[in-house]
Structure 1
């Protein structure tokens, strides 16, 4: 970690949710160095002796974890919510390196820094992209003390993946004329969620470009570049299965009960590969579990952490 400075402000839970933590609560802004020397920006909440590293899903930013981080801090943890490469304030690698092993390398690099500076190995809490990165990193020897996978397993439903990536890709380069137009697109994609009263949470997931268009706060090459997140999925899948079979740290799988990516059968298959892994199924939540049902999600992970890391 190379720098820290105080920050305050409102942050939306989930990629497209208006939920905000209490106003004026101070946080630290931290800068880490990734596996390729790339700059990674994080928000740090809490001052507890135990550390949780929060890794968001594809197309999200660290602000997706705002409410979860506050709850972890209140429970005595230090929560580090990271903007992953190509997302939020973190660096867009010049070479467009966004394959899953690149994200795993960053997760491992941050974990090593946390362990060296704080004298404790972090628990990785990874949603979707962040969960894949965490599991791959563990398989390669990363220094995590525990793992929470949020609606992600090695065997994802390809229809669900196509649906999520289709939404992300649809306006990635064209952008939106206004934040309100982006909110309309989100409402059409997530009809099960109440439309937010405020657009401030959504605004944090957008950037205003010089041409006056609002675009998602992530590099479009993440999906369509020369080394995108879809690169060599067969090899990635094999590595994930191997990592699951060899999981040796306390672990929890949290599934959205209405997930479009993780079926009940896929969750059971993962638990058979990693039989020591605990399981929580969050009713009425889809793929973005923390955004859909943060109350139930936070309760599940806090119970797990309290029992396994007391």
Structure 2
């Protein structure tokens, strides 16, 4: 896969109320529009190779760091984080696109897409690509992710220490992350220690418990989705299972399901070429042209 980033390519900070999100766009004049929403604890960098490849194929691709992640702003200490804030951010970004976008959402990003596509009429999305997430998930897999995020509150002395911990968490990856690859994921504190890019308040507040309470709402929303859906799951995932996938396919009968056999929950990172191939194939299968937004239309 060619690594060169297509031009024009822009990074901007977009206001969402009292904070700003880092938003990256490849091929702004392309079509159709794809909007990528990463998972909890990730950044827009998770999509870099796939978004670049799709942009080279003519698509407009937009990635962003969710609030409290990466280069986006963190909330003030007293405000906390709530699922509806993340959903509102995603809704505003979708409305800002020249036409209803195809949402590619992993984990938390996919859950937000399910809620918005099921509860909003018309849907803010032309279609959904859900990456290893269903309205009901396996708690043990989520707990493993949270345990990793909580494991090193004092950070790391250097990039080599961080790389060692990532390698232990992702033993299926053959190559250890380099300092260059880790640099966007870590911040250097005033004490010289390197800490992960996410706001510790994401883990300290009610957000995790809130996501569990979201499940009835997610199941109800999924049953109301009326746009095309592709579910891409990892064959080695511990977050979704055969049972959660089957339940989702019953709720959303128009959905297609493709399992990437050797991928874990980190589908785009574990099997990026295969993941990108499936997304490109799916985008091409959506043959009906998207209708451009009319001026002043509500999302």
5+ residue gaps, structure 1, are 1-18
> What corresponds to 1:107 in structure 2?
90
Q: Following TM superposition, by how much is the alpha carbon of 1:96 offset from its aligned partner in structure 2, in angstroms? A: 4.4
Q: Following TM superposition, by how much is the alpha carbon of 1:228 offset from its aligned partner in structure 2, in angstroms? A: 2.1
What is the TM-score with the length of structure 1 in the denominator? Answer: 0.87
Distance 1:174 1:197, change over 3 A: closer
Within-5 A mapping of 1:134-173: 134-141=113-120, 143-171=124-152, 173=153
Q: Is this contact kept in 1: 2:20–2:72, CA < 8 A?
A: yes
Measured in 2, the distance between the counterparts of 1:295 and 1:49 equals 21
Q: Following TM superposition, by how much is the alpha carbon of 1:63 offset from its aligned partner in structure 2, in angstroms? A: 0.9
> What corresponds to 1:3 in structure 2?
none
Larger mean CA deviation between 241-250 and 189-198 belongs to 189-198
Q: 1:203 aligns with which of 180, 183, 189?
A: 183
Q: Is this contact kept in 1: 2:6–2:26, CA < 8 A?
A: no
Q: Is this contact kept in 2: 1:100–1:229, CA < 8 A?
A: no
Measured in 2, the distance between the counterparts of 1:169 and 1:203 equals 19
Q: How many residues align?
A: 284
> What corresponds to 2:266 in structure 1?
288
How big is the alpha-carbon RMSD for the aligned residues of Structure 1 and Structure 2? 1.8
Q: Is this contact kept in 2: 1:40–1:90, CA < 8 A?
A: yes
Within-5 A mapping of 1:242-253: 242-253=220-231
Tell me whether 1:60 sits opposite 2:60 in the alignment. no
> What corresponds to 1:261 in structure 2?
239
Within-5 A mapping of 1:205-224: 205-224=185-204
Measured in 1, the distance between the counterparts of 2:151 and 2:62 equals 31
Distance 1:25 1:194, change over 3 A: farther
Q: Following TM superposition, by how much is the alpha carbon of 1:284 offset from its aligned partner in structure 2, in angstroms? A: 0.4
Measured in 2, the distance between the counterparts of 1:37 and 1:51 equals 27
Q: Following TM superposition, by how much is the alpha carbon of 1:179 offset from its aligned partner in structure 2, in angstroms? A: 1.1
> What corresponds to 1:124 in structure 2?
103
5+ residue gaps, structure 2, are 289-299
Q: 1:48 aligns with which of 30, 37, 47?
A: 30
Q: Deviations over 1:102-139 (max 9, x none)?
A: 2111111111122xxx2x11111110111111111223
SS of equivalent residue, structure 1 residue 54:
strand
Q: 1:187 aligns with which of 167, 170, 181?
A: 167
Measured in 2, the distance between the counterparts of 1:209 and 1:20 equals 35
Tell me whether 1:230 sits opposite 2:209 in the alignment. yes
Q: Is this contact kept in 1: 2:32–2:60, CA < 8 A?
A: yes
Q: Is this contact kept in 1: 2:163–2:178, CA < 8 A?
A: no
Structure 1 runs (4+) deviating above 4 angstroms are: 23-26
Distance 1:23 1:52, change over 3 A: closer
Q: Following TM superposition, by how much is the alpha carbon of 1:257 offset from its aligned partner in structure 2, in angstroms? A: 0.9
SS of equivalent residue, structure 1 residue 231:
helix
> What corresponds to 2:291 in structure 1?
none
